[in-house]
């Protein structure tokens, strides 16, 4: 069974303190970047519970000490559930350390992206930077879990507002996905066919949720993820010299703002919790926030709108492709 060594345990304790800043054990596991194995699938990520002592929190998160009779003893190593793959931690990559979202082996670049402004290609639409490329990958990856989340909301939501928010997700991300799939070959960008492990964890939570718990987790998680990327969209829009990426940022701005608004219209957003997670993101391993590289020759997965689903009133951003830039590119 995988284990956490003493040094790692000490870092964890220093990072999370006594646990009182997290209202539930699941919140603390999320902050620490763990997928908790609580043996209790009915606990809401955003339910109201009293703060637990740290030892109990660690126990609920799937961590136990060598001495089961004294779970607060932290000597030695702490076995961790093998299912703890770090798919929680809602904020993490979404404050966007864009350098984590790269495909070095597919793109023929250095493994470490040390300078997001570094130009990696000169195209007819303007220079393409690491940050530009990673933004395209991120938008694609986000759609691969938020689109299906929207479909779940349309099926499982207990209120009209939640179901309507789901409709907006499905339509908005289908439009963004179509743009990503269109510009990726033009810019020689490899896009994923699966979301990141972290994002897969969000989707798995929604799939197991029932009733009001689904509504609450859906609204708060999606409000968090969209709020976290909103500032990054503005940064890309204000700095990119590539007209294709700029148009994608324009479109993403419209779609993401609409999705933020829809989550707030559910009346379920816990703003204190969401703001805490946005402003205090955990540091996650790159593997948890990087979408898997697609298999060579694999068909590109496409997000589509279900037949008959009305797109009335749903912003999808500009649909036309910009002309090639006339500005000079860097050598």
Going by C-alpha positions, the residue among 181, 189, 178, 199 that lies closest to residue 85 is 199
Q: Cβ distance 33 to 93 under 8 Å?
A: no
For 67-103, give one letter per residue: b (16+ CB within 10 A) or e. eeeebeebeeebebbeebbbbbbbbbbbebbbebbbb
pLDDT mean over 16-32: 55
pLDDT band at 202 (very low <50, low <70, confident <90, very high): very high
**Encoded tokens for 90:** 């809602």
CB neighbourhood size of 26 (10 A): 24
Could you report the per-residue pLDDT of 264-277, keeping only the tens digit for each?
A: 999 999 999 999 99
Which domains can be identified in the chain, with CATH numbers? 3-79 (no CATH), 92-288 (1.20.1260.10)
pLDDT at 105 over 90: no
Give, for 109, the enclosing helix (H) or strand (E): none
Going by C-alpha positions, the residue among 6, 10, 32 that lies closest to residue 19 is 32
**Encoded tokens for 41:** 């699938």
pLDDT mean over 12-41: 51
Q: Cβ distance 27 to 270 under 8 Å?
A: no
- C-alpha to C-alpha distance for 97 and 5, rounded to whole angstroms: 27
80 conformational bin, left if phi > 0, alpha if psi -120 to 50, beta if neither: beta
Which one has a higher pLDDT value, 129 or 92? 129
pLDDT mean over 50-54: 38
- C-alpha to C-alpha distance for 191 and 248, rounded to whole angstroms: 14
Q: What is the pLDDT of residue 114?
A: 55
Q: Cβ distance 283 to 94 under 8 Å?
A: no
- Please indicate, yes or no, whether the overall pTM of this predicted structure exceeds 0.85: no
């Amino acid at each position: 069974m995988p284990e956490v060594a003493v040094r790692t345990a000490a870092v964890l304790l220093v990072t999370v303190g006594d646990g009182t800043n997290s209202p539930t054990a699941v919140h603390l596991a999320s902050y620490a970047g763990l997928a908790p194995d609580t043996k209790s699938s009915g606990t809401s990520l955003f339910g109201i519970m009293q703060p637990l002592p740290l030892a109990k929190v660690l126990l609920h998160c799937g961590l136990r000490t060598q001495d089961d009779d004294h779970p607060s003893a932290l000597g030695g190593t702490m076995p961790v559930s093998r299912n703890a793959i770090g798919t929680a931690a809602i904020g993490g990559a979404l404050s966007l350390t864009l350098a984590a979202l790269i495909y070095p082996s597919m793109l023929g670049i250095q493994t470490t992206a040390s300078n997001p402004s570094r130009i990696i290609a000169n195209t007819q639409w303007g220079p393409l930077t690491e940050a530009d490329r990673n933004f395209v990958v991120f938008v694609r990856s986000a759609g691969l879990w938020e689109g299906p989340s929207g479909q779940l909301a349309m099926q499982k939501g207990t209120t009209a507002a939640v179901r309507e928010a789901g409709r907006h997700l499905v339509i908005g991300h289908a439009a963004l996905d179509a743009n990503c799939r269109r510009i990726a070959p033009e810019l020689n960008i490899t896009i994923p066919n699966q979301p990141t492990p972290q994002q897969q964890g969000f989707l798995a939570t929604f799939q197991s949720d029932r009733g009001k718990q689904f509504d609450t987790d859906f609204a708060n998680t999606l409000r968090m993820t969209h709020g976290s990327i909103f500032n990054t969209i503005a940064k890309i829009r204000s700095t990119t010299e590539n007209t294709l990426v700029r148009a994608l940022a324009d479109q993403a701005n419209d779609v993401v703002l609409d999705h933020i608004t829809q989550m707030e219209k559910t009346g379920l957003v816990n703003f204190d919790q969401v703001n805490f997670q946005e402003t205090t993101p955990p540091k996650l391993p790159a593997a948890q926030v990087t979408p898997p590289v697609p298999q060579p020759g694999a068909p590109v997965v496409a997000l589509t709108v279900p037949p008959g689903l009305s797109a009335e009133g749903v912003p999808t951003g500009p649909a036309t492709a910009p002309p090639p830039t006339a500005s000079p590119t860097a050598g």
